[in-house]
Structure 1
């Protein structure tokens, strides 16, 4: 496997792991790839996937609390839709643009 193929595979795995499930397993894949890879593009994609997961997790907790006043239910539905569509967009972008990591719009960057 060439370096570009490996970069593409690892970058797509970083973002695609978000679609596996909404548990810690989906954030474990980018963390492992961040630690084992020395490619700066793969590391950038892994950091961005971790930041996306943490942002969705925080918004999910906030919207879950807001379910008690009924405003959280449509917000949670929207969050599920966004958290499904955005990793797909990121996977396509990571597979086609191998020169720089994909940046999710409107997320908090905990890991730089």
Structure 2
């Protein structure tokens, strides 16, 4: 079978990399995990983390344009996006550390991978 502690660590690293989302290096960690791991749960978590990165960047760009076009009136929307981004990541980390047998699936995101 697969090592549960290694599964937790690699899955948590994949999802936790989003905390470095201001750098493009953050997406490199789940991509690396995807290619080096042979554990199917870890691979699914890495794919989900990669998809979440794309969603965070996409919606962040949309929110950024809306805030700019509204001359800053929609700054609360940016704050809401920030809370959602961090909240979903914390939820994912909690899930992979408490239930290592199932990959985490973020709600309401589009999946490219």
Q: Do they superpose with TM above 0.5? A: yes
| Counterpart residue number, 1:84 | 86
Q: In 1, distance between residues paired with 2:66 and 2:79?
A: 13
Provide structure 1 residue ranges, at least 5 long, that are not aligned to the other structure: none
SS at match of 2:102: coil
| Counterpart residue number, 1:5 | 5
Structure 1 residue 90 displacement after superposition: 0.4
Q: What is the aligned length?
A: 110
Structure 1 residue 20 displacement after superposition: 2.7
8 A contact 1:34–1:46 mirrored in 2: yes
Could you state the TM-score of these two structures normalised by the residue count of structure 2?
0.90
Could you state the TM-score of these two structures normalised by the residue count of structure 1?
0.91
8 A contact 1:64–1:72 mirrored in 2: no
8 A contact 1:18–1:87 mirrored in 2: yes
| Counterpart residue number, 1:62 | 62
| Counterpart residue number, 1:101 | 103
When the two chains are superposed, the root-mean-square deviation of aligned CA atoms in Å is 1.4
Structure 1 residue 81 displacement after superposition: 1.0
Q: In 1, distance between residues paired with 2:93 and 2:26?
A: 14
| Counterpart residue number, 1:42 | 42
Q: Displaced runs of 4+ in structure 1, greater than 6 A? A: none
| Counterpart residue number, 1:30 | 30
